[in-house]
Structure 1
């Protein structure tokens, strides 16, 4: 099996944003999307007082990261979980707060580069796309069981695919004679269904459909919707949450959560801020940061990244709105929710 490539996006900038929160004895980073551990390795190397808890639902990635980071001893702990289970992970490890939380969202390098995982449209492979390959429906299950309307919704909402209805109707028609099992057949269908002028813009014609299927299979937006308030609540004073998003819906969700916690609740027409009414968080980045042209040329996966960060500036004595929205019924470690 070939070794997957791993080029962390905006590595130096991400570590620079995390470093102020991790430059203290006993600092703990939760790398909520561990992948192959590139960001975690850089933090362990450059922030010698910090330890890292690496969370990933992908057991294959977790095993490879544990091997990669073994030289750091007990400064690194790998946990098999989904990133909306941060409260459970912290409770299991006896942690009330952590110093920072990092999210590098989307599909990992390993998942894209190993054909058998079914994430890539460039090679014919089983239509799997599960980040945790041990459970849950596959992309083939979605294609073969969803109604045309539900398929069109997934393609439109998650892939921003303009031909969503046409593709969904074609999938339903074709699966009647033979269920979909491999990526090659789906890619061929997309070439047939999407008109040539549309294929000449926006990259590979399968890109949007594969992205949409992956997000549906892994319930990515719902998981992120639960994870963001939990992460914001998890950090202590001086702690930071840093997020790399690659999809407009992800970035919009992150932006909204950060805006909510950094907004003052004092009426705009009040001439001063009463003591204790200041927001408990501040934005560290101005808007979203993007990769520059040089990095995008070196690492094409950086082209769509949007980077945001927030810092906790004071403790909250009462129950926060973030805490209220992060409650849920947990399904256990590794559940794909």
Structure 2
């Protein structure tokens, strides 16, 4: 099966890395390899280390990038079947701990994950509740919905999905599961719809969108691993190297913005009128405001409407 996925902010993400020959780059969210393909088109030779915890994506990449994986090409690809939260350990294992020239993240869920109904990511297909990006992990959406407390479910829906009716939905979930397990995506969709006022359901997007997003974030620990991975990325990238991050949720963007801001400013100790002479920022912001998709891109790919790109350079 072909990995049909339109990469968002494709040129902006890679062009802002200032790609050059004979450099080493990390694609922290490889997916269908769209960003890596464009990066390879910008250079004659160089190396990309691609991370993805989804075995489906890794297996398809082995076919699509067979030449680059063979080692016979001047453009070399190394695949790592792991979450980007283990960035530093894997780079050390591969012998690239001496420094990386650029790292890029696309934090959106890939189209194939959403479109393959059996993965249980989407409210558009009926399937067992799953939502695991890494099929080898134990925690899935079924476990959260059927075993977590009403308060914990409500907190997840509110904190990760900005769902205004989180308490009502969590209460309804607990009521239903007392009668029978909630096994499928469509069962959960019906529960969410029944918990939201009819007038609200008739406006905006799909009534289950926020809840499904929140469950996916919780299942895959997305916000926790993002913060840790970015700290490792800042550590392993070389001076002059850049980090590009595309986010699709306000929670993700806040993490990136806060971390980039922290490392691009000098912290003045309390009681001191100015920063010590030897204190220097670690990062320089390439984009003080997030880069967003053009109107033309949004028309071509609706997924891009909520995308925000932030770029920083190691000093």
Q: Give the TM-score normalised by the residue count of structure 1.
A: 0.87
Asked if residue 68 in structure 1 is aligned to residue 64 in structure 2, the reply is: yes
Give matches, 1:204-215, under 5 Å.
204-215=206-217
Counterpart selection for 2:116 from 105, 114, 125: 114
Q: Residue in 1 aligned with 2:180?
A: 178
Answer whether contact 1:4 1:114 (CA < 8 A) is retained. Answer: no
Distance in 1 of aligned mates of 2:62 and 2:245: 23
Which stretch has the larger CA shift, 182-191 or 277-286?
Answer: 277-286
Distance in 2 of aligned mates of 1:290 and 1:201: 25
Deviation per residue, 1:248-280 (Å, 9 max, x gap): 11110111110111102458955x984x53323
Q: Residue in 2 aligned with 1:23?
A: 20
Distance in 1 of aligned mates of 2:208 and 2:152: 18
Asked if residue 5 in structure 1 is aligned to residue 4 in structure 2, the reply is: yes
Answer whether contact 1:44 1:72 (CA < 8 A) is retained. Answer: no
Local SS of the residue matching 2:306: coil
Counterpart selection for 2:44 from 43, 48, 52: 48
Q: Residue in 2 aligned with 1:131?
A: 133
How many residues align structurally?
A: 307
Q: Residue in 2 aligned with 1:221?
A: 223
Distance in 2 of aligned mates of 1:49 and 1:311: 22
Distance in 1 of aligned mates of 2:59 and 2:37: 15
Deviation per residue, 1:164-221 (Å, 9 max, x gap): 0000000000011110111011111122211122123331101001001100110111
Q: Residue in 2 aligned with 1:324?
A: none
In structure 1, the gaps of 5 or more residues are 314-337
In structure 2, the gaps of 5 or more residues are none
Distance in 1 of aligned mates of 2:273 and 2:78: 49
Give matches, 1:128-277, under 5 Å.
128-265=130-267, 270=274, 274=277, 276-277=278-279
Answer whether contact 2:156 2:215 (CA < 8 A) is retained. Answer: yes
Local SS of the residue matching 1:288: coil
Distance in 2 of aligned mates of 1:196 and 1:293: 32
Counterpart selection for 1:39 from 10, 35, 41: 35
Distance in 2 of aligned mates of 1:24 and 1:85: 26
Answer whether contact 1:5 1:113 (CA < 8 A) is retained. Answer: no
Distance in 2 of aligned mates of 1:263 and 1:202: 39
Counterpart selection for 1:278 from 277, 280, 291: 280
Distance in 2 of aligned mates of 1:3 and 1:187: 29
Q: Residue in 1 aligned with 2:87?
A: 86
Distance in 2 of aligned mates of 1:106 and 1:169: 29
Answer whether contact 2:2 2:60 (CA < 8 A) is retained. Answer: no
What is the CA RMSD across the aligned residues, in angstroms? Answer: 1.7
Answer whether contact 1:4 1:113 (CA < 8 A) is retained. Answer: no
